[in-house]
Structure 1
Amino acid sequence: MSGEVIGVHVSDRHAFSKQAADVITLLEGLGVEGDAHCGVTVQHRSRVRFNPAQPNLRQVHLIHAELFDHLAGRGFDVRPGDLGENITTRGLDLLDLPVGARLTIGDAVVTVTGLRNPCVQIDRFAPGLLKEVVHHDDDGRTVRLTGVMGVVSRSGTVRPGDDIVVELPSGRHYRLDKV
């Protein structure tokens, strides 16, 4: 399994969207250098209010560009960085990865921890978008399409054009859930 980075993004503010960059630096155990969500403990405001001491399992946010293609077909103009991801990918089914999958991206490694759980801010960005990115499957399970979250397992830099190589965890694989 492999894919490619088509965009990298960062924001030093707790804003919904992130700005495109030529390169981002991932810091082991912390996240994206200069990003508002970088830290050992959780940095997302709603989670900080709940428990500021919980570990940051959302250091890096990755979204597959194929989601933007799908949304365009549904009438939404969503571009890389708009939904707050740090890394936009193409050619890799992020949502099908198991917990613990290791992604070598550039010279960095990100370990996948779970799914991004989208919130109402998505509807503030584009009314009706939340219904497009969260729905229920035929078995009644909630399906979240807004990418995956991970932790930085090895520091390094990531640029558009970098390859992404997947290493699956050994043993039993566990389906991603929201983090």
Structure 2
Amino acid sequence: MGKIVAICKSEKKGTAKKRIGEINLIENFGLEGDAHGGNWHRQVSLLDVQKINDFNKEGGNVVFGDFGENLVIEGIEVDKLPIGQKLQVGDAILEVTQIGKKCHNECEIFHRVGRCIMPVYGTFARVLKSGHIEEGIDIELIK
């Protein structure tokens, strides 16, 4: 079992997300009001807090949301989960749909930070069941 350390969203694609503390996950959409929401396979992005901490130890200077991640997770190596794995987050249910992604050469995050860890460690999911979530809530693997 893990927990949500941070919840972040942005209103524009290609920009860093801002930490918001709590939000509604909307079935077949993603985070309410998030730029990446929609009926597609990358509705919610997840990143392991340890990957962010490691990046900062190597000289990075980032805060939660800088890589464009929606949910920062502690206690689960989300990038090691199989496609199709379901996650219970409060009343909401997510399903892992993709690990890693091609990084945009011109994205704000790459230019500001110098490199991006999302292409390797970013994990994407779709929302199977709506629910309200907040920082500190448990997240667990389900069958």
TM-score (norm 1): 0.73
Please name the residue that 2:70 is paired with: 86
Inter-CA distance 15–106: structure 2 relative to 1 (3 Å threshold)? same
Please name the residue that 1:144 is paired with: 120
Deviation at 1:38, TM superposition (A): 1.2
The one-letter code of the counterpart of 2:30 is G
The one-letter code of the counterpart of 2:24 is T
Deviation at 1:39, TM superposition (A): 1.2
The one-letter code of the counterpart of 2:8 is H
1:83-138 CA deviation, whole Å, 9 max, x = no partner? 111111111111110011111112211100011314133431212x24xx38xxxx
TM-score (norm 2): 0.90
Query: How much identity, in percent, do the aligned residues show?
Result: 31
Larger radius of gyration: 1
Work out whether 1:10 is the aligned partner of 2:18: no
> How many residue pairs were aligned?
140
Work out whether 1:161 is the aligned partner of 2:125: no
Give the strand-richer structure, 1 or 2: 2
The one-letter code of the counterpart of 1:85 is E
Stretches of 4+ aligned residues off by more than 3 angstroms: none
In 1, the alpha carbon distance for the partners of 2:6 and 2:68 equals: 12
What 5-or-longer segments of structure 2 have no aligned partner? none
In 2, the alpha carbon distance for the partners of 1:107 and 1:118 equals: 31
Equivalent runs, 1:46-85 vs 2, <5 Å: 56-85=40-69
The one-letter code of the counterpart of 1:35 is D
Please name the residue that 1:124 is paired with: 111
| Aligned alpha-carbon RMSD (Å) | 1.6
SS of the aligned residue for 2:42 comes to coil
- Is the CA contact 1:10–1:24 (under 8 Å) kept in the aligned structure 2? no
In 1, the alpha carbon distance for the partners of 2:32 and 2:96 equals: 18
In 2, the alpha carbon distance for the partners of 1:97 and 1:109 equals: 15
Work out whether 1:97 is the aligned partner of 2:81: yes
What 5-or-longer segments of structure 1 have no aligned partner? 41-55, 135-142, 169-179
